[in-house]
Amino acid sequence: MSDSHASAVGHHAEENKFQIYVRIAMILAVITGVEIAVIGLPFHKWLLVSTLVILSAVKFMYVIFYFMHLRWDKVFCTVLFFIGLVIAGATMWALIKLFSVHDSIPLTISLNGVAQLAGLA
């Protein structure tokens, strides 16, 4: 196995992957830092929740599109994964909603708990 790597058609994008990966990792680390900082900020709750959700979605997308290579792969891989992701996400959302309607509140509930995380549902 030789270290020299014969470049075939369509391979040139790869030359600088190393740089890209390191840069992405740095971005991810920074976002994580921001997230941790955000929870201490004195803003309105829904703003913070949306910020956190968006930030982690951004991280998520960076990882799947760069580290996991989707960006350079056939779109079909993206479609395939998103079928699962979307159905799972929608199901989660529906479940959490279903449990949050008045009829579904369990009998054993501490009220402050509801208040605490109401922003989520």
Per CB under 8 A, does 91 bind other proteins? Answer: yes
* DSSP label of 5: -
Q: How many CA atoms lie within 13 A of 77 on its CB side?
A: 9
Min CB(30)–other proteins separation in Å: 10
Distance CA 74, CA 70 (A): 7
Per CB under 8 A, does 69 bind other proteins? Answer: yes
Give the residue, chosen from 12, 34, 71, 107, that forms a contact with other proteins under the rule CB under 8 A: 107
Per CB under 8 A, does 114 bind other proteins? Answer: yes
In the stretch 3-42, what mask flags binding to other proteins with x, by CB under 8 A? x-xx-x-xx--x--xx--xx-xx--xx--x--xx-xxx--
Q: How many helices (H) and strands (E) does the chain have?
A: 4, 0
Give the residue, chosen from 12, 34, 71, 80, that forms a contact with other proteins under the rule CB under 8 A: 80
Closest CA to 77 of 67, 65, 87: 65
Min CB(92)–other proteins separation in Å: 5
- The distance of Cα 69 from the centroid of its chain, to the nearest Å, equals 15
